[in-house]
Chains A and B, each alone.
Chain A
Amino acid sequence: MYEKTLTQLAAALKSGEFSSRELTAHYLQRIEKADGQLNSFISVTAEQALQQAEIADKARAAGNAGRLAGIPLALKDIFCTQGVKTSCGSKMLDNFIAPYSATVVEKLNAAGTISLGKTNMDEFAMGSSNENSYYGPVKNPWDLTAVPGGSSGGSAAAVAAGLVPAAMGTDTGGSIRQPAAFCGITGLKPTYGRVSRFGIIAYASSLDQAGPMARSAEDCAHLLGVIAGHDGRDSTSVARGVPDYVEGLNAPLSGLKIGLPKEYFGDGLDPEVEKAVREAVKVYESLGATVREVSLPHTHYAIPAYYVIAPAEASSNLSRYDGVRFGYRCDNPSDLIDLYTRSRAEGFGEEVKRRILIGTHTLSEGFFDAYYTKAQQVRRLIRQDFLDAFEDVDVLMGPASPTPAFDLGAKKDPVSMYLQDIYTIAVNLAGIPGISVPAGFAGGRPVGLQILGTHFAEAQLLNVAHQFQQATDWHLQRPAFAEEYA
């Protein structure tokens, strides 16, 4: 069963090939067998999942099942799930049972999908390797000595290992696309505002966006159709109709204008990654697309701008973790300041503290204009780069990451870790959608092709990605790890 894509599973459930309960039990069994090595889940909600599956089976028997009813999924542990621990990868929230569900979770429940559990992640979504989790690092199923990427590393690893057909992630600077690339799966970051952020624990509110991680673009199209749409509980969610993302998948690509940003093929790009990406572009040419080089001149300012804006927002967003109303509280606080400073020092990990300190410093008196205002100005220039490029081309293509998955423990210096996100981070600053699709291997580890479109061009991105997956089979390849636990 696990070999199938979500789309195939939906068809099998519909035809009665197996029940949702059987399917759910199958994946739960795989998780139980394999996840001791991968560490991709923080919580597995087996009992609830089986109950949900039975409800889905009954609904199907009664003829009330929706397109995705009975499909098992996993949720990054950043999505609040009513009655289930929602830790955000942090000791701070190790005891937090969410009293409500995120809008994304409600929508998935309403569609009849089943949650197998909550996946591991970098603490508060801060990281590019999943080594910053309170619950320990996640391993890459393609190579257990490699990282799965981050921050949605648990979701990516679980899907790649066939522990779940698809999972939800969030992406603030590349946290869906980079782990999707590292684990050889398909991951979509929608346009900012396309998916409600309500109930998603905030890292950087003007950048965060949830999206699907699955085996194929078609799977992502099904899932995006469920989770997208306006939500009255999120002021930044956009009131705009949701198209049928599946319907347009098969549109031909003849005449498609592809731009290759020259800044995405410069120094630091692994030659094997570059080769895989250029091969993929050739596939598109064979499908009738035209290719030209474009420039995104402010690309190199994206990481510096991001490391002002994201930590600034995070420093404020994470002030609510104060040991008063929920979450971790230190033992025997002597006074209020001790309660605050020790609860926070003991509850947060190193990377979270670094970003809180950076954000607090750059917002503070005397530094605000030089850092924050400046970064916001640069943010406008970066967005303009993309808008200008989309005047000339339909989509942009390049690598999702300059290298394939690196070894666990390889990047000790925070800045070298940050530089990993060079191709993904500007996309969040501009708010545009991006998708990473498997496009080969470098040194035996997967390579992701990143495709970017203008605001609300998700249907086009999914179409472009799907056509590639019709012409290639990179997305169908499985790590040996997945087979060993079949």
Chain B
Amino acid sequence: MALEESHVRRAAHLARLAVSDDQASGFVDDLSRILDMVDQLQSLDTEGVTPLAHPLDATQRLRADEVTETNQRDTFQRCAPAVENGLYLVPRVVE
């Protein structure tokens, strides 16, 4: 499956990564080689094989419904780039 610059542009947009024109062509080269390597998978017949998401066949354990966390806003917001009145600030979001 050949990779085109439009694919890279689209992935960069979805992943919210700024990519300049120069970088884009570099990424097309690199990612094309990676995907060529990945494409070896297509030669393997996997008909009927159930996909494996986790290496162990374990199941989810459940947590009791208890409030265990206390307010740590000041601690957490110490590493925040911009806060005011306890809110995280971002450039205005237009709905």
Direct A–B contact in the complex, CB atoms closer than 8 angstroms = yes
Listed in ascending order, the chain A residues whose CB lies under 8 Å from chain B are: 95-97, 99, 191-193, 206-207, 232, 235-236, 238-239, 298, 300-301, 303-305, 307-308, 315, 319, 322-327, 329, 333-342, 344-345, 348, 353-354, 356-358, 360-362, 364, 367, 370-371, 373-381, 383, 413-415, 418, 428-432, 455
In the bound complex, how far is the Cα of B37 from the Cα of A186, in angstroms? 31
Residues of A within 8 A of B1 (CB): 367, 370
* Cβ-closest chain B residue relative to A95: B79
Q: What distance in Å separates the Cβ of B28 from its nearest Cβ neighbour in chain A?
A: 10
In the bound complex, how far is the Cα of B63 from the Cα of A206, in angstroms? 21
Besides A232-B63, A304-B39, A364-B14, 18 more A-B contacts (Cβ < 8 Å) are A99-B76, A232-B61, A304-B38, A307-B38, A335-B92, A336-B92, A342-B18, A345-B18, A361-B11, A376-B51, A376-B52, A376-B53, A377-B51, A378-B46, A414-B33, A415-B33, A415-B34, A455-B56
- Cβ-closest 4 pairs across A and B: A431-B55, A376-B51, A345-B18, A329-B81
Residues of A within 8 A of B12 (CB): 341, 357, 360
Q: Write 30 A-B pairs (CB below 8 A) sorted by A numbering.
A: A95-B79, A99-B76, A192-B55, A193-B58, A206-B53, A235-B61, A304-B38, A304-B41, A308-B38, A315-B15, A324-B81, A325-B88, A326-B81, A327-B81, A333-B91, A341-B12, A344-B15, A354-B31, A356-B15, A357-B17, A357-B27, A358-B35, A374-B42, A378-B41, A378-B46, A415-B33, A415-B37, A430-B55, A431-B56, A455-B56
Contact assessment for B55 and A206 in the assembled complex, using a CB-CB cutoff below 8 Å: yes
Specify which of A235, A370, A414, A430 is in contact with B34 (CB 8 Å cutoff).
A414
Residues of A within 8 A of B88 (CB): 324-325
Specify which of A238, A340, A367, A375 is in contact with B56 (CB 8 Å cutoff).
A238
Residues of B within 8 A of A428 (CB): 55
In the bound complex, how far is the Cα of B93 from the Cα of A66, in angstroms? 54
Contact assessment for A322 and B16 in the assembled complex, using a CB-CB cutoff below 8 Å: yes
Q: A364-B14, A371-B38, A374-B42 are in contact. Are A336 and B93 (CB under 8 A)?
A: yes
Contact assessment for B42 and A370 in the assembled complex, using a CB-CB cutoff below 8 Å: yes
Check: B67 CB closer than 8 A to any chain A CB: no
Total number of B residues with any Cβ neighbor in A under 8 Å? 52
Check: B44 CB closer than 8 A to any chain A CB: yes
Residues of B within 8 A of A239 (CB): 61
* Cβ-closest chain B residue relative to A97: B79
Q: A324-B81, A354-B31 are in contact. Are A380 and B15 (CB under 8 A)?
A: no
Interface of A is mostly: helix
Check: B49 CB closer than 8 A to any chain A CB: yes
Q: What distance in Å separates the Cβ of A1 from its nearest Cβ neighbour in chain B?
A: 37
In the bound complex, how far is the Cα of B71 from the Cα of A388, in angstroms? 51
In the bound complex, how far is the Cα of B53 from the Cα of A283, in angstroms? 38
Specify which of B17, B38, B42, B60 is in contact with A356 (CB 8 Å cutoff).
B17
Specify which of A298, A303, A334 is in contact with B91 (CB 8 Å cutoff).
A334
Interface centre among A334, A380, A428 (most CB of B within 10 A): A380
Contact assessment for A374 and B11 in the assembled complex, using a CB-CB cutoff below 8 Å: no
Residues of A within 8 A of B3 (CB): 361
In the bound complex, how far is the Cα of B58 from the Cα of A431, in angstroms? 12
Interface centre among B3, B19, B90 (most CB of A within 10 A): B90
Q: A341-B17, A356-B17, A430-B55 are in contact. Are A307 and B81 (CB under 8 A)?
A: no
Contact assessment for B37 and A358 in the assembled complex, using a CB-CB cutoff below 8 Å: no
In the bound complex, how far is the Cα of B7 from the Cα of A362, in angstroms? 10
Specify which of B37, B72, B92, B93 is in contact with A418 (CB 8 Å cutoff).
B37
Specify which of B16, B33, B91 is in contact with A335 (CB 8 Å cutoff).
B91
Check: B75 CB closer than 8 A to any chain A CB: yes
Contact assessment for B31 and A361 in the assembled complex, using a CB-CB cutoff below 8 Å: yes
Residues of B within 8 A of A340 (CB): 16
Residues of B within 8 A of A326 (CB): 76, 79-81
Residues of A within 8 A of B15 (CB): 315, 319, 344, 356-357, 360
Q: A307-B37, A354-B30 are in contact. Are A325 and B91 (CB under 8 A)?
A: no
Contact assessment for B17 and A344 in the assembled complex, using a CB-CB cutoff below 8 Å: yes
Contact assessment for A360 and B38 in the assembled complex, using a CB-CB cutoff below 8 Å: no
Residues of A within 8 A of B54 (CB): 192, 206, 236, 431
Residues of A within 8 A of B34 (CB): 307, 354, 358, 414-415, 418
Contact assessment for A345 and B19 in the assembled complex, using a CB-CB cutoff below 8 Å: yes
Contact assessment for A377 and B52 in the assembled complex, using a CB-CB cutoff below 8 Å: yes
Specify which of A308, A345, A374 is in contact with B46 (CB 8 Å cutoff).
A374
Q: A354-B31, A364-B14, A373-B51 are in contact. Are A238 and B38 (CB under 8 A)?
A: no
* Cβ-closest chain B residue relative to A330: B18
Contact assessment for B51 and A357 in the assembled complex, using a CB-CB cutoff below 8 Å: no
